[in-house]
Amino acid sequence: MPSATTVDPLDVLIIGAGISGIGAGHYLRANCPGKSFAILEGRAASGGTWDLFRYPGIRSDSDLHTFGYDFKPWRDKDAIADGAKILDYLREAATADGLDELIHFNHNVIGASWDSAEALWTVDAETPDGPRTFRARWIFAGTGYYNYDEGYTPDFPGREDFTGTIVHPQHWPEDLDHAGKKVVVVGSGATAVTLVPAMTTGPQAAAHVTMLQRTPTFVTALPREDKIAQALRRTFGEERGYQLTRRKNIAVQHWTWRLARRFPGQTRALLRKAQVRALPEGYDVDKHFNPPYDPWDQRLCVVPDGDLFRAIRSGRADVVTDHIETFTPRGIRLTSGEELEADIIITATGLNLRLIGGIPLTVDGAAVHFPETVAYRGLMLSGVPNLALSVGYTNASWTLKVGLLCEYFTRLLRHMDTYGYDAVTPEADPTMPTRPLLDFAAGYIQRSIDDLPRQGDHDPWATTTGFPDDVRLLRNGPVNDACLRFSSVHDTAPATITEPATLTEPVEVAS
């Protein structure tokens, strides 16, 4: 039963109190002040990713001027920031918008069903006090993109023979003592390149850390502090300085990504040149840092102030590029015959992708199968009424896209209010060619590609990958188009509604 503090039915039920869900709460407050909403969070705390991951050195690899919200300046001197600072920032944002009392913690959503006759979602949640049911006109799924219960670990032969400790970064034991130990980190992604330098420094420093990778990743050093951002802040003040840095970084990210895609050979050469300078003389850069794929086929890993390269130079860390034959009692034997000794093995082998929190959805009793749906503007799914999801960028800060999605979402709500609509369903032409929703070669995406929604081959069904395109489509474009079917179950709505052209023009949105 909804508690006395929960309106029934709610206008919007946000699922997830991570950066997306808290952001959605802000945009609802700012742009749709009359709307009732609540946030259901499966865990006991807000912050999502930034509360879950507790491994040493946990940090962003995006700059916080673009990973932060449009509406809340990032004030810290570090542009690439550690998890605790990001968490504080998110929680401050929630408190500033009065969202704390709207978050229902330990409410794990396990199912949602849409009823067209009432134009309502019924949402079931598990709580420590038993099951609860909520009803809402809309669902906003700020549920992230991976399974919180379990990270991805391949089946390593001989795993049970290893006599040391095996840890997955998603489930870091609070009391793990790695001081003076030999550590092997299996993986080459953002988590591995964060862990390796972090575990070689400080009072808990390991004796030695080896990053064991099958395939190299593009790794580039960026300054942890952004001196230009600091100068802009001093000159123009907190708000204006933040917006200027944000614009600068959006442009820099967009153009470096585009140029990298256009000129992969030159980009590879530039990255290599910087690595040769940062690594010890004679280091085999091509073996360990020159991937077989092009820059940005997979996310490029950032190392703040070159900390990974520094750790290698110091001799406390190294990189081994090889294949695992088997775990052994004392470590890992490689196909080359070499054996890496380890007290601790960290499987930084990735995530299990999961959209909409793995929540089974039904529409009028029929189960929704994601692979049969097509994403509309990257926000909704064909055939599924009044459901918004927030999937951010994989080639830039996640939140840049989520902010635009929230802007469009609140414009859509206002549009529906204006015309008395209760429901909106994107309808895709069944003959439209489709392809996977996420165009990214990363392993965790490829492993789940067949379980995900699809994208179409043109606007508004094709997922854009660039901020400028999304500004055009989501912020400045018309709210309505021929792919949206609006409907109403209430008498107040006119039977046939003609929308004046002016109301499909851009609506100024507060942020």
Other residues' Cβ atoms within 10 Å of the Cβ of residue 506: 11
Q: Is 109 in the site for ligand FAD (CB under 6 A)?
A: yes
**Strand ranges, E, within 323-407:** 324-328, 331-334, 339-341, 344-347, 361-363, 366-367, 375-376, 380-381, 387-389
* Per-residue binding letters, 28-47, with ligand FAD (x by CB under 6 A): ------------xxxx----
**Chain-centre distance for alpha carbon 58:** 15
Considering only 24, 29, 38, 49, the residue that binds ligand FAD (CB under 6 A) is: 49
User: Which CB sits closer to ligand FAD, 200 or 397?
Assistant: 397
In the complex, what is the shortest distance from the CB of residue 484 to ligand FAD, in angstroms, rounded to a whole number?
Answer: 24
In the complex, what is the shortest distance from the CB of residue 327 to ligand FAD, in angstroms, rounded to a whole number?
Answer: 24
For residue 431 the two structure tokens come to: 């003959």
Buried-state track 40-75, b at ≥16 Cβ within 10 A, e below 16: bbbbeebbbbbbbbbbbbbbbbbbbbbbbbbbbbbe
Q: Is 453 in the site for ligand FAD (CB under 6 A)?
A: no
Dist CA 464 CA 412 (whole Å)? 19
In the complex, what is the shortest distance from the CB of residue 134 to ligand FAD, in angstroms, rounded to a whole number?
Answer: 11
CB 183 within 8 A of CB 208: yes
User: Which CB sits closer to ligand FAD, 15 or 361?
Assistant: 15
User: Which CB sits closer to ligand FAD, 403 or 456?
Assistant: 403
Q: Is 210 in the site for ligand FAD (CB under 6 A)?
A: no
Q: Is 142 in the site for ligand FAD (CB under 6 A)?
A: yes
User: Which CB sits closer to ligand FAD, 434 or 448?
Assistant: 448
CB 25 within 8 A of CB 33: no
Provide the phi-psi class of 377: left if phi over 0, else alpha when psi is between -120 and 50, else beta: left
Question: What is the 3-state composition of the chain as percent helix, strand, coil, each rounded to the nearest 5?
Answer: 30, 25, 45
Chain residues 394-423 in contact with ligand FAD, contact rule CB under 6 A: 397-398
Considering only 10, 12, 14, 17, the residue that binds ligand FAD (CB under 6 A) is: 17
DSSP one-letter code for 316: S
Q: Is 192 in the site for ligand FAD (CB under 6 A)?
A: no
CB 69 within 8 A of CB 90: no
Q: Is 15 in the site for ligand FAD (CB under 6 A)?
A: yes
In the complex, what is the shortest distance from the CB of residue 317 to ligand FAD, in angstroms, rounded to a whole number?
Answer: 19
Considering only 36, 106, 108, 504, the residue that binds ligand FAD (CB under 6 A) is: 108
* Per-residue binding letters, 52-81, with ligand FAD (x by CB under 6 A): -x------xxx----x--------------
**Strand ranges, E, within 130-277:** 130-141, 165-167, 182-186, 208-213, 219-222
User: Which CB sits closer to ligand FAD, 301 or 319?
Assistant: 301
User: Which CB sits closer to ligand FAD, 375 or 484?
Assistant: 375
The angle at the Cα of 49, spanning 309 to 2, to the nearest 5 degrees, equals 175
Dist CA 301 CA 293 (whole Å)? 14
Instruction: Give me the residues that bind ligand FAD (CB under 6 A), please.
Output: 15-21, 40-43, 48-49, 53, 60-62, 67, 108-109, 142-144, 148, 190-191, 357, 359, 390, 392, 397-398
